[in-house]
Structure formats: structure tokens, C-alpha cells
Amino acid sequence: MASDHVDAPELSLLSLEDELSCSICLSPFSCPVTIPCGHNFCQDCLLSSWKDSYSCPQCRAVFPARPELKKNTVLSAVVETFLTRSGLGGGQTEFKPQKGAGAGAEAEAAVAVAVIRCDTCMEAEASHTCLTCMASFCDEHLRPHRDNPVFRLHQLGRPVADLTERICPDHHKLMELFCSQHQRSICSLCLQKEHRGCSLTSQEEQRSLKETNLREKLTFLDGKISKTEAVLVQMKEMQSKLQDSATNRKRILSSDYQQMREQLAREERDALGVVDRELDTGVTKLRSLSKKFQENIDGMNGAKDGILGLLAQSQTLDFLQTSYPVPLAAGFDPYAPRLNLDSRRVLLSQNFALALKEHLTELLRQPLENRLPIGKPEPQWQSKPPKASRSQSPASRGPSGQKKKPPKPSRAERWRGCDEIYVEMESDGEEKSRRRRDNDKDKDEDKPEKVDDVVCFSSGEKRSELLKYGTVLTFDPRTAHKRIALSEGLTRATVSDQHADYPDDPRRFTVCSQVLAAKGFSRGRHYWEVRLSGNNFVGVGLAYGSMDRKGPASRLGRNAQSWCVEWFNVKLSAWHDGGEAVLANPGPRRVGVLLDCGEGVATFYNVTDRAYPFHAFVLPVAEAVHPAFWIFSSGSSLVLSKLQG
């Protein structure tokens, strides 16, 4: 009955769920067998119902002896198709009893999952599967394959639960080969048709290769796990070391600040002591004068009493003959001394405290990176010309015998002297060198006159003088890294984590988020300005057109073909050919660049009301030099100012 529905439509097949279910476990057949009365049951369900007698659980027909059970292969195929189309799974050895099945049926189902039965006796456990016969056999029924030479060429293997997986779905033949090119198992007919010319191996050889590959992956993963675990151990040790280092540094800092507090407390006690001593001196003077004035008052009161007594005499002769002198103290006018605490020591202590407070206030107002140089004296850049020889040749003097002035150095030569001005600091905060111009005037008359001073970084230039050389710049989209988006007529560059859809170009930066200007300069003077949205992780510089765009050294200033000033967080550095010089950070919002190709100097300015130079590069203009820019921080942008050239 079931065979009539094998090729029926899906809806018709799904309507046969009751006919395809075992009447004992009420679940789809698992390894169905047919008994002599024609009814079908799951093999395990039927065997569990047969104990003392052998009868049909459905029609109650009694059999005198135990019937020989054989698998109903047609019904098994129909049930397999039904389970596949209904979404309940393919393998019949994996069925689960539905609600209503007893605990015994569930236990028998668990046994069926692990045991593959012999297709001949349907009772014993299969020991081998013949891929030629497409059947599984126990040791007893496998004997013909071992003893009969006719079966010598049959392919035996480990028991296979579902032989349909080894059958080609297109040609219904055993898949004995494996196509390495398409990574799938094929049969002999597939080899003659779709897979003609492909690289083939046996399934056993492919399994061996795959096992070798998986073992290599296991070895690789074991190595990676070991390395990762070792790194975790190192990180734990590093964490412990960091904690110990933090404890030591905090102890040192606490000791330093405690010493400073003790020093300030001593200074405070000394200053208060100066005021107290000045107060004691003033009070002593006032007490001494008060005592003397009180004595004068007492003497004058005594003289006053004597005069009053004289005036009281009634005898005129005695009155006329008696005299009473006025005390000497009455001849002096009393005065209050002018005393105050404005002595020299008191004023010095007070002024020192005020100056120290202002100095600390100014020092602590600065960012931490700028505090260290404030309190340190700056070494002077010594570049004085040598003394003139007393025996100078006449040719070295003018027509009147006066000394000739030395030739005025070019701007490039002055900036080469300035190259010894900049500060380069190591990561531990100590200065490696600090270079600055010499402001000392030479007063020795025997020395030749001094050459013009180099440009002082503290002096500003009129922006109008620089705008004479102003040029209009735009970004070159052919060089922009894909993280950089260009807008506003190619004058604004913004960096983000989203990559722009730029076409491939050999001039495009692929490693660093950088972009060049479309113009390059090889002669004349040129000036441009850049507005910074934020001076964190941005760089402004110059580069030759031949600069590497893809290599590891393609970042501005890390090669011999580029120069840049770079803000890395709050640190400002000048970079060229991999060398770094740390600069004082003026925190500009607008940066100006003046390129003098004739003298080979590029000067960088902090542009506010005036233009204040803060760095300069001396560079040979061997080829066209392009303005170059680096933007790293997401959301940051650079805008080229629209100057009139």
C-alpha cells in the first residue's frame, strides 16, 4: 500500500502520516519489518511485544513459531522521504517516540540510535557494511563475503547507518570517488560527465588527507593556545610589576611633595619669625619711650605741686625770696615714634612669598608636558664668531682702514643655525638637547661686527607680509587614503572609520590616512594656511611626489622624502627621516606654511592676529614639493584656507 505513494505529490505523502506510523509506539516507522499477516511494525517495538507467544499486535493472529523478520526496504524508503519532507529529520535510527509511547519504547529507541542491525537476520549487530551489496551483515551472515571468491571484489567497511548517504542523488550509484576540485563525493557516471578532467582521489585517501589537515590545525591551535597562555602569564606578571612600580612611584612622589611641604613650612615659620622679631623690636622701643615719658610726667607733676605750694604762702617776704625751677623734661616736646613692620627682611619675606605663589600658580596652570622646561634654565646657543686676529691683512679692511662687515648670511643659513635651537626630549621627560639663538651682544671692539640674528620664535610677523605669497590649494583625491573624505570643493578633509569608494590608483596612500595637495612647487615662494578642527593626532608637512605610498615607511616624516610637524595627543613633534624633535606646543587653531624654494626653507607659523614661527625645516628642493597632511583621530578635519595667490 505504501509503495503506491512513493512518487505522489508532497501533500499526498504528508496525508499518509497515520499509515506510516507504527501502531505500537505511534511514531513513524524505525527499521520497519513485515510479519506473515501483512502488518508492519518497528523491529524493536515488535520484539519487545513478543515474550511468551508470537502474535500480531494489530489483528491478534497467532504464529506457531517465531516468524523470520526481514526489513521492508520499500516502506523504509517511503518513511525516509516522509520524514525529510515533513522536516522531522532523515535517519530512521534517530526517531523519538511521540506522546503516548511508553518508557520501554523510549529505551528501545535509545538502543536503536547506537546499534546497526544485520539486514539479513535483523537481530544481531552488524559488524561490516558491504558497499557493493549496499547491506550490513553480522559476522555470521558476512561469512560468504569472506569464504566465497565471488565476493572477493566487494568493498567492505565499517557499519554505516544510512547507506543512502553513499548513493549519488543524480545517478543512484555508489559514490566511490572524491572530486578535489569541487570538494564532493561522486560516482563513476559523474566522472564521465560533469567531473571529466577533475582531480580525483579515493574517499579513504581524501579522509586521510583531511585527517592530516585537521591534526595540523590541532597542532597549530595547541601552539597558539600555549603562546596565548604564556602571554597571559606575562601580562599577569606585568600587572604585578606595574602595581609595584606604581607603589614605588607614589611613594617617591609622596616623599617629594612631603619634602616640599616641609620646606614651605620652614619658610613659613622663618617668615613669621621675621615678623615676630620686628614686632618685638617695635614693642620694646615703645615700652622704653613710654617709661621715660612717664618719668617726665612724674617730675613735672612734682614741680607743679611745688609751685602750687609756693603760691599758697602768705608771707610776702618769704614768697619773694623763694624760687622753683622748671624740670628739664619740660623743655622737650613729646612725640610718638613712627614704627611699622616694613623692615627690609619683612618686605623681602613678603615679596618672596608673593613671587613664589605667582610662580606656582603659573606653573600649575600649564599642561603637565609644558611644566618641566619652565623651571629649568635654558642653555644658550653659543655661535659667536671668533675674535679677529690682531695682525689682520689689509685686504680684510675697507679703503679707510676700517674692518669689513662679514657677508650677510642667507635665510637658509640662518635657519641652519636655528636647527640647533629645538628641544628634543626622551620618553622619560629628560631633555637630550635644547637649542636656541644667542641674544648676547658682542661689545668687544676688536671683534668683527656680528651677523644678523636668526628669526626669533617669540616675535611675530605681519600676516599681510606672508599673504603676498598666498596660493590657492585643493586636496588631490587621487592620493587620499580611503578613510579620508573630501568635501567643500576638495578643501576639507575629514577622517572616519568608514572607507570611501575611491578607485585604485598607484598614487593613493594605502597604509596611513594621508593626502597630498594637488599643487607641487619647485621655485619661488608660496604660502598657505590650514585650519585645524582639533590639534590631536594631525600632521601638516611637505613631501616629494616620489614619496612611498604603500610601504611601512609611508608615514609623513618617517622617510627622507617628507617633513612634517605632528600633534600626537598634546605632544608636538617635528619629524624627518624617522628623527623626532619635541617642540613646545603653542596649541594653534590655524597653521601657516611658507615655502621658500630658492633658499630651501619651510617655515611653520601659529597664525592668530600675527604669524608666530614655531619651527622650520631646511630641505633641498630637488623636485616638486607638495603640501602633505596626516589625519588620524576619527572626526578630525583639516580645511585649506582660500587665500588669494
Using CA atoms, how far apart are residues 344 and 114, in angstroms rounded to an integer? 107
Q: Which grid cell is 174?
A: 555508489
Predicted TM-score (pTM) of this structure: 0.36
- Return d(Cα 54, Cα 50) in angstroms, integer: 6
Answer yes or no: are the C-beta atoms of 188 and 177 closer than 8 Å: yes
Predicted local distance difference test score (pLDDT) of residue 535:
64
Count Cβ atoms within 10 A of the Cβ of residue 510 and give its class: 0-12 exposed, 13-18 middle, 19 or more buried. Answer: middle
C-alpha cell at 609: 592676529
For the CA atoms of 111, 116, 122, 128, the dihedral, rounded to the nearest 10 degrees, stands at -150
Cβ(481)–Cβ(508) under 8 Å? yes
pLDDT at 12: 53
The beta-strand segments (E) located in 398-437 are: 424-425, 431-433
pLDDT of residue 245: 92
Distance CA 606, CA 466 (A): 13
- Three-class SS state of 156: strand
pLDDT < 70 regions, the chain: 1-15, 87-114, 162-165, 172, 372-459, 535, 644-645
Q: Write the pLDDT tens digit of every residue in 592-623.
A: 999 999 999 999 999 988 999 999 999 988 89
Q: Taking a C-beta distance cutoff of 8 angstroms, is the pair 540, 565 a contact? A: yes
What is the layout of strands, in order, in the sheet containing 611-618? 484-487, 492-495, 637-640, 525-532, 590-596, 601-607, 611-618
**If you search the block for the grid coordinates 627682611, which residue do you land on?**
345
Q: What is the pLDDT of residue 454?
A: 35
CA distance 425 to 473: 34
Expressed in angstroms, the distance from the first to the final Cα of the chain is: 97
pLDDT for the residue numbered 76 = 84
Residue bearing cell 592676529: 609
